[in-house]
Amino acid sequence: MTDTGGGLRLHDTMTGAVREFVPLREGHASIYLCGATVQGLPHIGHVRSGVAFDVLRRWLMAKGFDVAFIRNVTDIDDKILIKAADAGRPWWEWAATFERAFSQAYDALGVLPPSAEPRATGHITQMVELIERLIAAGHAYASGGDVYFDVLSYKQYGQLSGHRVDDVHQGEGVAKGKRDERDFTLWKGAKPGEPSWPTPWGRGRPGWHTECVAMCETYLGPEFDIHAGGMDLVFPHHENEIAQACAVGDGFAQYWMHNGWVTMGGEKMSKSLGNVLAIPAVLQRVRAAELRYYLGSAHYRSMLEFSETALHDAAKAYTGIEDFLHRVRSRVGTVVPGTWTPKFGAALDDDLAVPVALAEVHAARAEGNRALDAGDHEAAMAHAQSIRAMMGILGCDPLDGRWESRDETLAALNAVDELVQWALTHRQEAREQRNYAQADEIRDRLKSAGIEVTDTADGQQWTLLDGGSK
């Protein structure tokens, strides 16, 4: 199914339109996602992009693409240096500590590990080479140990963000060496106490915008399919990446995709506003699969306004899917992933319309429950297999081994099942002997222990009152 883009259409920030995805190389998709600046603990706003573009990657893989997926780590940055100094810790230790925290958060939410995860500090040579190319082409200049990009030398500047050159503010503050305040920094001259590397312009460290261009092209080449990131990166970061790459004649990204923010009270979740929800804290309230479901449930380009009610509604919706699959497995047998429905595929092909895709999942669950209650095990199994396929693409298949343990281990749940089945056998014997008082007593004692018994066409079924079922 990889003749071209397989019918996939994606919103391209550059053109402001939904375009058919046509990869540079048939059957192959190359994606670069701007990863974390590892200055502190990850919050749910940070990992939304990881979840959103993990769905893109999984969908491309499901359609038969070979996907090269690069997600970088910014491990040298003003904020990292300041926070490490304030804490009295080495900058490299600070960066490594929170890089691990981000990796743990991505893994907890089932985000597939990238094909490669380059660190900025590991690509200084490539950055210096890029800067040398820019200087040689007349688009950059050295000044007092710093190197700057000459914005006015690149006539297409502003093509991604729509910014007029006259209105550009890089947010870098005043720099004496700049010819024009609209220029941006490619290389920062060394300062006392800061890490630095040798270059033709003296020791120093890279500018943020240069880092990603060098890492993109090191792994994906001068021209690749998709560059992704949060919408807050459109300007100046991605605009400045384009300026550097295209100024030296590289084709760079063919599609630009940006995800919306997680907001609280209508404001972007950020450490500076103090409105962050760290991943470990949220995972005390809901399970990892439920948080993954929540973060991925809205369209990736929309804002996701956080509330406890919305989080728990998402958890309840996920549990409904999970419970259906458990019921089918218990009554019918092992559920293996099947195939997604045409409506589900059409939804994801339409710029990853996950809300529409999830509606199809819940429709299949409702049909499956009706089939199960009617004793139509074949139809129930077919729906369950389809749901596993669809939820697998969304990264939160409840029967995937990584999500299988609820609060109990599988061994503990099986042990409980053995004891409950023993009690249900005695209850059935009491009913056959018309000893309804004893049968009711067994049912009531099970309920007091948190186990609800339901009489169905398939016999007695038990359910944990917190949602688990057998």
Measured CA to CA, the distance from residue 242 to residue 159 in angstroms comes to 9
pLDDT for res 162: 95
Measured CA to CA, the distance from residue 432 to residue 137 in angstroms comes to 91
Q: Is residue 146 part of a domain?
A: no
At residue 467 the predicted structure's pLDDT band, cuts being 50, 70 and 90, is: very low
* 421 and 375 in a common domain: no
* 423 and 377 in a common domain: no
Q: Is residue 145 part of a domain?
A: no
Q: What is the pLDDT of residues 305-334, one digit of tens each?
A: 999 999 999 999 999 999 999 999 999 999
* 360 and 265 in a common domain: no
* 390 and 417 in a common domain: no
At residue 2 the predicted structure's pLDDT band, cuts being 50, 70 and 90, is: very low
* 384 and 419 in a common domain: no
Q: What is the pLDDT of residues 87-141, one digit of tens each?
A: 999 999 999 999 999 999 999 999 999 999 999 999 999 999 999 999 999 999 9
Q: Is residue 431 part of a domain?
A: yes
Q: Is residue 447 part of a domain?
A: yes
* 221 and 347 in a common domain: no
* 337 and 231 in a common domain: no
Q: Is residue 143 part of a domain?
A: no
**What's the domain count of the chain?**
3
> What pTM was computed for the model?
0.86
Q: What is the pLDDT of residues 391-423, one digit of tens each?
A: 999 999 999 999 975 444 445 666 777 888 899
* 225 and 112 in a common domain: yes
* 239 and 107 in a common domain: yes
CB 55 within 8 A of CB 311: no
Give yes or no for residue 3 having a pLDDT over 50.
Answer: no
Matching residue, tokens 């994801």:
348
* 350 and 453 in a common domain: no
Domain that holds residue 450: 410-464
Q: What is the pLDDT of residues 367-395, one digit of tens each?
A: 999 999 999 999 999 999 999 999 999 99
CB 212 within 8 A of CB 252: no
Q: What six digits make up the tokens of 235?
A: 């300007």
Average pLDDT over residues 452-470: 69
* 426 and 385 in a common domain: no
User: Residue 281 region, left (φ>0) first, then alpha (ψ -120 to 50), else beta?
Assistant: alpha
Give yes or no for residue 78 having a pLDDT over 60.
Answer: yes
* 45 and 17 in a common domain: yes
Q: Is residue 14 part of a domain?
A: yes
CATH number, position 224: 3.40.50.620
Residue 368's nearest CA partner among 354, 349, 381, 350 is: 381
